[in-house]
Copies of this chain bind each other. A is one copy, B any other.
């Protein structure tokens, strides 16, 4: 490898160092920082963000990428049999893509967006606490305008550089799902839209939700929950030399260095399984990060070592949360542990404990939604994003549309905007294009699960035998090491042998509901 390539690696290494300093500041902010530290922390973060932006957009950096590209090409021309690191071309193309995206944005627009996010977040908090959408509406209008402008600038950049043509929403979704299109989402989401509402109705008719399982509202004291979270992590390969568990108001996973993995959880009064399931979920994210091909010094700097999409990331967290921790076999194994940690057995049987972990009951809140209804919450948001960004839906009509579609999809109507279109933080920060990743995660988890079962036999049987390490081993072999060498869609196709579809998820869900009803 030549001089320019080495210099490029050095540059990317420095960028990664700064990025991980930023992540450390965020991590501290969400775990130990007292509230009054936030203004100063904001200034620290802005300082690092300015440095990062400079590094990622400077003409010198752009030139370095092209020098490295030329150097690589020259080396190959001189000696076609020369050994070249796998993925070099892919790395180059990802670097150019990121650079193009960064450089085709007017700095004034970037600044305006940052300000609008901060203002929008404040107004959204106020509006939600008073359940008054009109307080937030002007900020949302402004944010939509700015994002539309941003998408236009990025699209011009793409077409100048011979890239792909994308709609406004598709352009904004790209950082989360680089290859996704509306057409593709329609193919994936239509079966959910068609089949989930009748499945929910059948479930309700058969009466499961009326029979609250004992133990759904059991009181698990904080130290008991902490101990169970710790036990869970230990049984799933947690290694305190490279990982740490902390507490934060909203659970998250964060990678602060090549061998420094953090997750957080939270104890929610009245939700005895929240901390445990959040731990399973975040640890799933972290296991993916730990399996990415970037431990070795050379890849931690390069894009190839990164996660490939939010959908794939989410598939890994959902696999461990829903497929494993909420499974029947797992409940059977862990019921005695919960019993022993609490020193009492309010659940009675392992079956009741399983049902307590899977309360199938449509609700208005996305975050608290069960597996059966979750994707409908996403469909609703996705439809509304398209309407707002591309179809001219007036912001003032959002609450009405939200409530009507909620009723059509879930059979429920929000009593107010706080329960309805003000419930999520995302839009206050202009985060459009993100929601579908959550649903894609469910679909990907199910389709990869089918392939896994074809090789390893039933996942439930493995869990019953306490063989989660084998499940992890499979993911470590087939999924995690791909990094960003392929996009999310290709990853699924490569691993499962066919393009992603909704059927495996719907099949899995139907079978699970059937078993829960029969329990």
Contact = CB atoms under 8 A, between A and B. Distances in A.
A244 B241 CA distance: 24
Interface string A216-236: 000000010000000000000
A27 interface: yes
Contact of A40 (B27, B41, B240, B257): B257
A48 interface: yes
A31 interface: yes
Nearest to A25: B24
A47 interface: yes
Interface stretch (A14-22, A67-75, A161-169): A14-22
Interface string A186-198: 0000000000000
A242 B48 contact: no
Contact of A260 (B27, B40, B259, B260): B40
Given A14-B47, A28-B27, A28-B28, A259 B21 contact: no
Contacts of A43: 17
Contacts of A242: 34-37
A253 to B, nearest CB: 14
A241 B35 contact: yes
Interface in A411-427: none
Q: How many A residues are at the interface, by size bracket?
A: 35 or more
A256 interface: yes
Interface in A2-46: 14, 17-18, 20-21, 24-25, 27-28, 31-37, 39-41, 43-44
Contacts of A243: 34
> What does DSSP make chain A's interface, helix, strand, loop or mixed?
helix
B44 A260 contact: no
A313 interface: no
A246 interface: yes
A262 interface: yes
Contact of A37 (B21, B35, B259): B259
Nearest to A29: B24
A265 to B, nearest CB: 14
Interface in A255-274: 256-262
Contacts of A32: 27, 31-32, 244, 246, 262
Contacts of A21: 21, 25, 44, 47-48
24 contacts: A17-B40, A20-B40, A21-B44, A24-B28, A27-B32, A28-B28, A32-B32, A33-B256, A34-B243, A34-B259, A35-B241, A35-B242, A36-B242, A36-B259, A37-B242, A37-B257, A37-B259, A37-B260, A39-B259, A40-B256, A40-B257, A40-B258, A40-B259, A44-B257
Interface of A: 14, 17-18, 20-21, 24-25, 27-28, 31-37, 39-41, 43-44, 47-48, 223, 240-244, 246, 256-262
